[in-house]
Structure 1
Amino acid sequence: MIRQQQPVLAPGHQSPKKVNAWILGSSIASLASAVHLICDAKVPASQIHILESHDIPGDGIISAGDPVTGYNYRAGCMPTYNDACMERLLNLVPSATNSNVTILEEIKKFNVEMPFQDSPGTHVLIRGDNRLEKMEASKFGIGLKDRMDLLLLMLKSEQTLGRKRIDELFNRRFFNGTFWIVLSTLFNFQPWHSAAEFRRCLRRYSYEFRSLNTKKILDCTRYNQYESIIVPIVRFLQNKGVDFRFRIKVTDIVTISDNDIESVAAINIVQNNSEEIINVCTNDIVIVSIGSVTSGSSSGSNTVPALPPSMEAVNELDENWSLWLDLGTKNPKFGNPYKFCTHVSESRLVTFTVTLNDAAGFFNRFLELTNGRPGSGSLVSLKHSNWMISLCIPHQPFFSNQPNNIDVLWGYGLYPSQEGNFVKMPMTLCNGKEIMAELLWHLDFPMEPILSNSITIPCVMPRMAAALLPRNSTDRPDVTPENVTNLAIVGQFVEIADETTVSLDYSVRGAQLALSRLMGIEGPPMRRRAFHTPFSYFWR
């Protein structure tokens, strides 16, 4: 049964100038909350406080490096598929390059200059008898039994599915088909992930299946999404006067109860090794970003693995998790974070960023192999890779400080614990050069001069796919927990009825939903419901 909620307007919603908003964490959901507080709720920017444990905002997402040491794009396999909620957000914020236009207008202008919308989102390469062959990803080729199984899944209730895995509902043949490969490449699904989340994804995108493999406007930015979206949002907030406080760890949220109605009264923090208390007044609101897909991530280099065999970073949890663990221990209405943060073997991905000197000749070979358009950003999935490698060549330059003679590509492995086909080690234990060698072997490209002219930065991300793990209806908290007057919870791990967490839009929708309930602003747009479409598609 879907949990329905009524608005729980905070005491100070009618007097925004008296509200102090305490935002814990600086994820995209947190940043979106701050933007909407300023633009829609009319809360003065100086009364919006963002507490972040890192030195920079962005929830640990990295977009850094240079052509000498190599670029590192940690957000490379973050879910994209931006939609109406992200569009609304981007239309409120000036771009980083021109303050006279919004981020949305800049993206649309870029897409007019470089039209990528008709480019395939995914290519699938398979190893034939003598060479690599490209499968037609636009034709899913779903068999009769698989169609039946897909329809049955879409018609089941989430209560019936509970914590079932996807591979409990489909046979092995299904996971070798083009349909599954395209969805797993686009959304990072793996067979052991949540059947309920897979169902939501199917129902959400069913009417787009015929165009799902085509690039969308909001997914094609001039530079990487960190520089094109996160940076201008942060700059906008800073210019408005938002109070960013870095290197602060939140250790506890203190609540008081009055006739079973709770309110946040204080926030306990550690700053400069000193414990402090932030008092939360009656009119104030608190927005908590829970969970973090970048928690415990570790980057390596071209010659050093991200995780040496002698150490394990998988047990490291940042405060997004520790705070949620504490809340969940206090009351089950805050969800069960253990279901998401402790199953590292099922949520781990390895990403890599390759910096190439154009003398390597990699790009021309790759475009010839895939018949792709230069810079279209299409994902290429290597079906017979033990690591299940996906690769992307984005529009160049991908970084704003990238020289003309340097190209950058990124990719990730869905099965990083498996032994490589060429490099006989798990991907998690490989340095950048070894990952690049494995990639070149799969593509049938010569090792030299490409290896000598490239720098590959690997990154092990233990919880990258944590939001897709099996769960039941109570494992994720509501955006505004029941009987709490001034608290909202946002991020990829909150419960938003009928919506799928596979898109970045999910986090922004949660922020808009939180503020509509706390401050009475306009809520996120309603989603299209069209259940006849799955039948017409699957039975064609």
Structure 2
Amino acid sequence: MNKSIKAYLVGGGIGSLSAAAFMIRDAGVDGRNITIFEAMPLAGGSLDGGGDADNGYTLRGGRMLTTDNYECTWDLFKSIPSLEHEGQSVYDETAAFNEMHKSHSQARLVDRNRFRVNVTSMGFTMQDRTELLALAEADEEKLGNSAITDWLSPEFFDTKFWYMWATTFAFQPWHSAVEFKRYLHRFMMEFSRIETLAGVKRTVYNQYDSLVRPLQHWLQQQGVQVVHDCKVDDIELMEEGGVLTATALRCTRNGEATTIAVAPQDLVFFQNGSMTDASSHGSMHSAPPKLDKRDSQGWALWEKLALDRPQFGNPAAFNSSIPESWWESFTVTLKDPAFFNKMEQFSGNVAGTGGLVTFKDSNWLMSIVLAHQPHFAGQPEGVQVFWGYALHPDRIGNFVAKPMADCSGEEILRELCGHLNFDMEIMDKANCIPCRMPYITSMFMPRFKSDRPLPVPPNSRNLAFVSQFVEVPEDVVFTVEYSVRAAQMAVYQLLDVKREIPPVSHHDQSLKVKLDALVKAFR
């Protein structure tokens, strides 16, 4: 029955790509009837990876994975063939890679004296433990749109736990208490091993090469069309008997406006909002330009659809305060092994086994991570890539007398070498490309439950939302899993798929996990 249904997906991020795959695999939709519209030249959305060895590689971010969670993600990627290992799925090759390269950080925090901080203790006082427990046990209705700072005293934000948890997941003290509570429960298994990051799993390469490319390749083999450089300006809706039906898409491609009719039995999936919207890159000699949603128009369609339609959410809760939702990352391409050699000696970790190294006394709160090499498919021999980011790029550096926001790649490397007490000559052959992301943690902003639409809003006949800005009970944003789960929920509901969606794993209900967390909290 579903072979005749056509589906149109607005945005080419992991949510849309996953929705297309679930429609084909589980709902019997003909791949040739699925079209994805993407405004950028490449699909993948926030799971990006670009550049080359000569001009410098670029990564806006790197998503951490776990095999103990991410139920929907692995359910999907067990069905997607590897591009490099015949007969294996993406899941198979990822699991095998992580068996060979296990995470066990030995330099999670570094202090101003360049000493590796002893992080076996979380540094809690009894007041910290009491307040953290109260927040973790409060129901979401009581938490409302409160911030973390409404529940935890100022001293909490100087504990070793906060430095590790905040930089692992990119939390700020002013972010949503609800989201922080969800993280405490979803990743309670990681609480007891946060200092080693032993639960973190990685893809073979960056997530674009390891997840997006094989997924897109499989979709195209099924006949799915991906239309690049095409911006959807409006989704026309008809209301009849209280039911909303998408009837047309208004698009702009190559400067030409077109309208695509949507039949009543057809489906539309919309990626509302983007954490990497209006992001911009700098260079070794220039800081990234300061853009916002007016430059990209990336939030405009959701704002238009949500006007006078509360069931479509409230984008203003997320995109109204760049100072509270932005940070800056940087990608460094090296053609000299000296830096990796010194970092491996300093940290005690071979690249790919250590996770984040956070400079806890850095004014910028800077962290770096050395991935297993090569980190890009086709990366030449003798080239190495590492990534870093800072949660407070608006503050003056410790070694460079200006905010990170105004720094070139060269100045960021100077600040990094200052924290490590490395001679800048070690960076003579380095290319550092900074990236400013004004909305990167916008989904962490304090919000009410009603500010996020359901994957299929009430009374919507054929329009679904798949993104980091929908309401998925119990799960946590800023993860690949959240987008994939939202997509699976939307597809199964609209197409009445009877297959069960993998439930969220409740490790927080395990007696052992609870006991391990309690012991860790009192160390």
TM-score range, shorter chain: over 0.9
1:105 maps to 92
Q: 1:121 to 1:43 in 2, by over 3 A?
A: farther
Deviation at 1:195, TM superposition (A): 0.9
Does structure 1 residue 69 correspond to structure 2 residue 69? no
2:475 maps to 499
- In structure 2, C-alpha distance between the alignment counterparts of 1:341 and 1:41, rounded to whole Å: 34
- In structure 2, C-alpha distance between the alignment counterparts of 1:501 and 1:266, rounded to whole Å: 30
Q: How does 1:148-187 map to 2 (within 5 A)?
A: 148-187=130-169
Deviation at 1:236, TM superposition (A): 1.1
- In structure 1, C-alpha distance between the alignment counterparts of 2:351 and 2:514, rounded to whole Å: 33
Q: 1:101 to 1:418 in 2, by over 3 A?
A: same
1:432 maps to 409
TM-score (norm 1): 0.91
2:234 maps to 252
- In structure 2, C-alpha distance between the alignment counterparts of 1:467 and 1:108, rounded to whole Å: 29
Does structure 1 residue 270 correspond to structure 2 residue 248? no
Match among 336, 345, 362 for residue 358 of structure 1: 336
Does structure 1 residue 416 correspond to structure 2 residue 393? yes
TM-score (norm 2): 0.94
Q: Give yes or no for contact 1:79–1:502 (8 Å, CA) kept in 2.
A: no
Letter in 1 for 2:359: L
Q: Give yes or no for contact 1:137–1:182 (8 Å, CA) kept in 2.
A: no
Does structure 1 residue 211 correspond to structure 2 residue 193? yes
1:537 maps to 517
Identity %: 35
Deviation at 1:217, TM superposition (A): 7.7
1:11 maps to none
Deviation at 1:80, TM superposition (A): 4.1
Q: Secondary structure at the residue paired with 2:115?
A: strand
Does structure 1 residue 489 correspond to structure 2 residue 489? no
Spell out, residue by residue over 1:256-289, the C-alpha distance to the aligned partner (whole angstroms, 9 max, x if none). Answer: 1221112111111122322222111121111111
Q: Secondary structure at the residue paired with 2:188?
A: helix
Letter in 2 for 1:516: Y
Q: 1:122 to 1:330 in 2, by over 3 A?
A: farther
Structure 1: runs of 5+ lacking an equivalent: 1-14
Q: 1:79 to 1:194 in 2, by over 3 A?
A: farther
- In structure 2, C-alpha distance between the alignment counterparts of 1:84 and 1:61, rounded to whole Å: 18
1:3 maps to none
Q: Give yes or no for contact 1:87–1:218 (8 Å, CA) kept in 2.
A: no
Q: Secondary structure at the residue paired with 1:232?
A: helix
Structure 2: runs of 5+ lacking an equivalent: none
Q: Give yes or no for contact 1:377–1:395 (8 Å, CA) kept in 2.
A: no
Deviation at 1:120, TM superposition (A): 2.9
Q: How does 1:11-30 map to 2 (within 5 A)?
A: 15-30=1-16
Q: 1:504 to 1:377 in 2, by over 3 A?
A: farther
Match among 189, 195, 198 for residue 177 of structure 2: 195
Q: 1:40 to 1:214 in 2, by over 3 A?
A: farther
- Runs of 4 or more off by more than 6 Å in structure 1? none
1:406 maps to 383
Q: Secondary structure at the residue paired with 2:405?
A: helix
Does structure 1 residue 126 correspond to structure 2 residue 111? yes
- In structure 1, C-alpha distance between the alignment counterparts of 2:106 and 2:216, rounded to whole Å: 29
Match among 322, 329, 333 for residue 344 of structure 1: 322
Question: How many pairs are equivalent?
Answer: 514
Does structure 1 residue 42 correspond to structure 2 residue 22? no
Q: How does 1:180-329 map to 2 (within 5 A)?
A: 180-215=162-197, 219-307=201-289, 312-316=290-294, 318=296, 320-329=298-307
Letter in 1 for 2:309: N
Letter in 2 for 1:479: P
Deviation at 1:317, TM superposition (A): 5.7
Spell out, residue by residue over 1:455-503, the C-alpha distance to the aligned partner (whole angstroms, 9 max, x if none). Answer: 1010111111111111111111111100111111111110011211132
Letter in 2 for 1:221: T
1:6 maps to none
Letter in 1 for 2:81: P
- In structure 1, C-alpha distance between the alignment counterparts of 2:120 and 2:205, rounded to whole Å: 27
Deviation at 1:221, TM superposition (A): 1.8
Letter in 2 for 1:436: L
1:524 maps to 501
- In structure 2, C-alpha distance between the alignment counterparts of 1:253 and 1:56, rounded to whole Å: 22
Deviation at 1:254, TM superposition (A): 1.3
Match among 447, 450, 453 for residue 471 of structure 1: 447
Spell out, residue by residue over 1:92-139, the C-alpha distance to the aligned partner (whole angstroms, 9 max, x if none). Answer: 111121342211111122233x2314x239711112xxx311123353
- In structure 1, C-alpha distance between the alignment counterparts of 2:160 and 2:47, rounded to whole Å: 31
Does structure 1 residue 447 correspond to structure 2 residue 424? yes
Letter in 1 for 2:415: E
1:12 maps to none
